[in-house]
Amino acid sequence: MPIVTSTEMFKKAYDGGYAIGAFNVNNMEIIQGITEAAKEVNSPLILQVSAGARKYAKHVYLMKLIEAAEEDTGLPICVHLDHGENFEICKSCIDGGFTSVMIDGSKHPFEENVAITAEVVKYAHDHGVVVEGELGRLAGIEDAVNVRPEDSSYTRPEEVEEFVARTGVDSLAIAIGTSHGAYKFKPGQKPQLRFDILEEVAKRLPGFPIVLHGASSVIPEYVDIINKNGGAMPDAIGVPEPMLRKAAQMAVCKINIDSDLRLAMTAGVRQTLMNSPAEFDPRKYLITGRDNIRELVKNKIVNVLGSDNKA
Ligand code: G3H
Ligand code: 13P
Ligand code: ZN
């Protein structure tokens, strides 16, 4: 099975009431952990690469590693640019073999977002590549994405039909209260998502795949392991898994997960090094991180996304 677009995956996910996991990848161990898990439970996958990941590992290394994973597992894998901020990076990823790109025009006013997104869609579709756009702004801080809570905003459902019609995007990321990173809700705050917005968007765009960013659950066990092994993470709260399951049963076909992978990897590395302070073979501590990622992703696929046995 070659590297594929997400078109077929989304169609089946929408009709079947489940979602495809879009996992951020930065190195070989992360790619192996995710794809080995997906293989075990026979799930389709989206592997996504941010500008920061391309800078860290180089486009060509990540592309070749993903091709190797595809050859190794035989799974349908879509390779996606996460949070492309302009036409140039989208073009570079399309020319470099990605099958899907996100143009994140969400920081721009509506008309500018439409213009930049439509330009990317034209180039992408001419090259057989699909495009994710975004309306509304998530809060949160990661390498390339840095939005203060006061600058975030929910998606306005009354804008979505016009945006999709004028841009031609294949999927749409919306903001309903999730955010990027490990600190999504304040300690003591009850996590809440605006399912009413998702419902209204779905009503206005029947059959159209919706994307949820900032969807890590921030697994407490991993934060605990990190803090018991020399770490000092403040209270971290993510999106409860039942909310993600509910979104997956609605119009959400793609659920983005990065922070949980980071926590799983870091917990494994910290635990091994604390238990074996004389260890200096990277294979001995990276393997624990990779094992954690495999378990995490298997659990996500089977218990949250519902994409097992759908490859
Ligand atoms: O949403 C952003 C992703 O989690 C990627 O983060 O830019 O730090 O690689 P990054
Ligand atoms: P998390 O930080 O919740 O993992 O979100 C990742 C994401 O949205 C990547 O685009
Ligand atoms: Zn994101």
Backbone angles phi, psi at 208, to 5 degrees: -95, 130
Is 230 or 187 the better-scoring residue by pLDDT? 230
- Residues in the ligand 2 pocket, defined by CB under 6 Å: 24, 82-83, 180-181, 213-216, 256-260
Task: Report how far Cα 189 is from the mean position of its chain's Cα atoms.
Answer: 24
Is 152 or 68 the better-scoring residue by pLDDT? 68
Q: Which atom of ligand 1 is nearest to the CA of 144?
A: 7
Residue type, 211: V
Question: Residue 247's closest CA among 185, 293, 178, 186?
Answer: 178
Interval 135-164 mean pLDDT: 83
Expressed in angstroms and rounded, the spacing between residue 279 Cα and the centre of ligand 2 is 32
Token pair belonging to 31: 């790619």
- Domain 7-305 sits in which CATH superfamily? Aldolase class I (3.20.20.70)
Confidence of residue 151 (pLDDT cuts 50, 70, 90): confident
- Residues in the ligand 1 pocket, defined by CB under 6 Å: 24, 50, 52-53, 82-83, 142-145, 180, 258
Cβ-count burial of 156 within 10 angstroms (0-12 exposed, 13-18 middle, 19+ buried)?
middle
Expressed in angstroms and rounded, the spacing between residue 165 Cα and the centre of ligand 2 is 26
Expressed in angstroms and rounded, the spacing between residue 255 Cα and the centre of ligand 2 is 9
Indicate whether 144 pLDDT > 70.
Answer: no
Residue 227 backbone zone (phi > 0: left; psi -120 to 50: alpha; other: beta)? alpha
Residue 260 known to be catalytic: no
Sheet holding 146-147, edge to edge: 146-147, 139-141, 179-180
Q: What is the pLDDT of residues 174-186, one digit of tens each?
A: 999 999 999 999 8
Domain boundaries along the sequence of the chain: 7-305
Q: What is the reported pTM?
A: 0.97
What CA–CA distance (Å, rounded) separates 142 from 257? 13
